[in-house]
Structure 1
Amino acid sequence: MTKLLITGADGFIGSHLTEALVRAGHDVRAFVLYNSFNSWGWLDRCDADVKGKFEVFAGDIRDPHGVRTAMQGCDSVLHLAALIAIPYSYHSPATYIDTNITGTLNVVQAARDLGISKVIHTSTSEVYGTAQFVPITEQHPLEGQSPYSASKIGADQLAMSFYRSFGTPVSIVRPFNTYGPRQSARAVIPTIIIQIANGQRKIKLGAVHPTRDFNYVSDTVNGFIAALNSAQSIGEVINLGSNFEISIGATASTIAEVMGVEIEVISDEQRLRPEKSEVERLWAANDKAQKLLGWSPKYGGLDGLKRGLQETVAWFNDTSNLSAYKADIYNL
């Protein structure tokens, strides 16, 4: 059993990862964002079999002293804490630099000083921008098409610079579009499901022609764990993607099919990205993850997407979950 710190443990992927690692027998310290409500985010609703079986550290990833304190006594760190909403990055880009870049610096600097055995740093497929070739390998050029993606490119490069400069054992995991229970309404799949679940049939969306490579959250979590357990992941950037591309419009139709309804998609101008900022195409190559980590998606292809959507819809259809979302507004 090893002592692990998970930053961003209160979030969508982080809460699922926390549960999975507790179940695997690890001693987990969950780093959550301090707030006056003493909320642990989604960990407040964690599954009964892990409730009370992990330690919570409330702090702020932007604070180097708190980050260092949280990391003391830990063997490895899985760094997921980040600001991720693209529309909000147009509104407040400076917060993305502070959280995503400075926050990552705090993690890798403390890891270097404390002799941490491994740092798993979380990237994003958005760093690639619109695909210049498909499927997208880890050698694809990086293109910051939003302040969010630019901040993540900076964070990735900073994390890897510590591996190259100081031998800090950094691995970069680059998930493509993760979806599933607990995802925020700023993402397209929950946006569609929530509108339908609340009785709407004219579904407001932004651009529907871009394609994405969607990954069910348990696949993404398994990728993180595989990277944690693999010595070959150190010093590497590794895509976690399903190697399957589907348009936003086709995704909406698939969700409607799963939910047994007919819908009409309405273009909502406030949901459109600026033209040059829209990432038109994402489609992951996952050969490297298969080779180095022994990882492949269990929810791959259209059949896997439908299975993942069924599980996601079932979660959102639970009124205790659906009521946590504001369906009548656009979530940045």
Structure 2
Amino acid sequence: MRILVTGGAGFIGSEFVRSLLLASDADSAHQGLGITVLDKLTYAGTIAGLDPVSGHPGYSFVCGDICDADLVEKVMAGHDAVVHFAAESHVDRSIESSGPFVTTNVLGTQVLLDAALRQGVRRFVHVSTDEVYGSIAAGSWSEESPLAPNSPYAASKAGSDLLALAFHRTHGLDVVVTRCSNNYGPYQFPEKVIPLFVTRLLDGEKVPLYGDGHNVREWVHVSDHCRGIRLALRHGRAGEVYHFGGGTELANKELTGLLLEATGQGWDMVERVTDRKGHDARYSLDFGKAVAELGYTPRVEFAEGLANTVAWYRDNRSWWTPLKEGR
């Protein structure tokens, strides 16, 4: 099986590529697997995240833009499946300038879907986010919940989700959409809250806490999320949406306290900043459908996963220091 992975040099994409190729060395079900990574290598994409598989016989890399229709057509040929991670994903950046988000997330997805249809791709997994639902005061979203995005980023992802599902309904393309809660783990670019706070605290710098810190997020370890995507790739039903969460909800203030404790810092290292525009109060996914249909369950307990993540950033300054300096 040959899989095209877009955005495979990013945080979640690189974990997916590493986990799948390294599993292929030990699992006969994955032997003969080939993965082509297509990544533009923007500020958030680092080829170093793919170093552990750079010499793997099933791995190849193409540097390019998913909006380049000629390149996508050429690269798509000969692949059995697409797993589409490539996206502009930082909410704050989308508030400052929404254009790149619409271009990459909507138009880029359209280019990929058109090429997949022409090239006879057998499965297209479109990776999305819980943010497309907006905010939920209580309970959890199901896959049938209405989309109500509040940020330009979330709106662009909702548009790409609908486009992917429309290609299934209109053209019969085998599309599966996945939506996840907030990811954490190693190799995450230090603009998202956990690596931002950890790297700043390790450098003795203050961290910015939005508003009153009461906004709630659900957290899933990136390895659990990617295992869910692998299950969706192999066993998901065409035209369906699947949720992958971790089951741990924390207010941002609670998360900040855990990160301060893990880095040996106190609350004097926290700087209160003006709240983000349109800041969603709470996200929560019901992932019972993925449990029932795909056999998904999160395996990484949050306390252990967070401790291991902090340790990884402490031990891998050579990876993240140049990224902070280059921002």
Which letter maps to 1:141? P
What is the aligned partner in structure 2 of residue 297 from structure 1?
Answer: 298
| Alignment of 1:12 onto 2:16 | no
Aligned residue among 23, 39, 53 for 1:32: 39
| CA deviation string 1:259-313 (max 9, x = no partner) | 33323332123xx311xx11100111110110121111112xxxx1111111111
| Alignment of 1:68 onto 2:65 | no
| Alignment of 1:51 onto 2:54 | yes
Which letter maps to 1:308? G
| CA deviation string 1:114-169 (max 9, x = no partner) | 11110000111110111154122112221121111111110000000001111100
Distance 2:35 2:215 in 1: 38
What is the aligned partner in structure 2 of residue 279 from structure 1?
Answer: 280
Which letter maps to 1:81? A
Aligned residue among 155, 160, 177 for 2:160: 155
| Alignment of 1:170 onto 2:169 | no
Distance 2:237 2:178 in 1: 9
Which letter maps to 2:255? T
Distance 2:187 2:48 in 1: 12
Aligned residue among 257, 261, 273 for 1:257: 261
3-state DSSP of counterpart to 2:307: helix
Distance 1:283 1:34 in 2: 31
What is the aligned partner in structure 1 of residue 227 from structure 2?
Answer: 222
- The answer (yes or no) to whether the contact 1:204–1:267 under 8 Å persists in 2 is yes
What is the aligned partner in structure 2 of residue 98 from structure 1?
Answer: 103
TM-aligned CA deviation for residue 257 of structure 1: 2.4
Distance 2:258 2:44 in 1: 33
TM-aligned CA deviation for residue 51 of structure 1: 2.1
Work out the number of aligned pairs and report it: 314
**Which has the higher mean CA deviation after the structures are superposed, 120-129 or 62-71?**
62-71
Which letter maps to 2:208? K
Which letter maps to 1:30? V
What is the aligned partner in structure 2 of residue 239 from structure 1?
Answer: 243
Aligned residue among 308, 313, 323 for 2:310: 313
What is the aligned partner in structure 2 of residue 78 from structure 1?
Answer: 83
Residues 168 and 144 (structure 1), Cα distance of their counterparts in 2 relative to 1, 3 Å cut: same
Unaligned segments of structure 2, at least 5 residues: 25-32
Distance 1:238 1:150 in 2: 19
TM-aligned CA deviation for residue 66 of structure 1: 1.2
Residues 34 and 285 (structure 1), Cα distance of their counterparts in 2 relative to 1, 3 Å cut: closer
| CA deviation string 1:214-270 (max 9, x = no partner) | 11110111111111110x33211111112331101001111222333323332123x
Distance 2:17 2:131 in 1: 24
Distance 1:40 1:88 in 2: 12
| Alignment of 1:194 onto 2:194 | no
| CA deviation string 1:49-68 (max 9, x = no partner) | x2222101111011111111
Q: Calculate percent identity across the aligned residue pairs.
A: 33
3-state DSSP of counterpart to 1:24: helix
Distance 2:201 2:44 in 1: 28
Distance 2:176 2:2 in 1: 18
TM-aligned CA deviation for residue 45 of structure 1: 4.1
Distance 1:180 1:218 in 2: 8
Distance 1:140 1:244 in 2: 20
TM-aligned CA deviation for residue 40 of structure 1: 10
Distance 2:101 2:187 in 1: 22
Aligned residue among 124, 131, 137 for 1:119: 124
What is the aligned partner in structure 1 of residue 22 from structure 2?
Answer: 23
Distance 2:162 2:204 in 1: 45
Unaligned segments of structure 1, at least 5 residues: none
TM-aligned CA deviation for residue 34 of structure 1: 5.9
Q: TM-score by structure 1 length?
A: 0.89
3-state DSSP of counterpart to 1:29: strand
- The answer (yes or no) to whether the contact 1:17–1:221 under 8 Å persists in 2 is yes
What is the aligned partner in structure 1 of residue 187 from structure 2?
Answer: 182
- The answer (yes or no) to whether the contact 1:315–1:321 under 8 Å persists in 2 is no
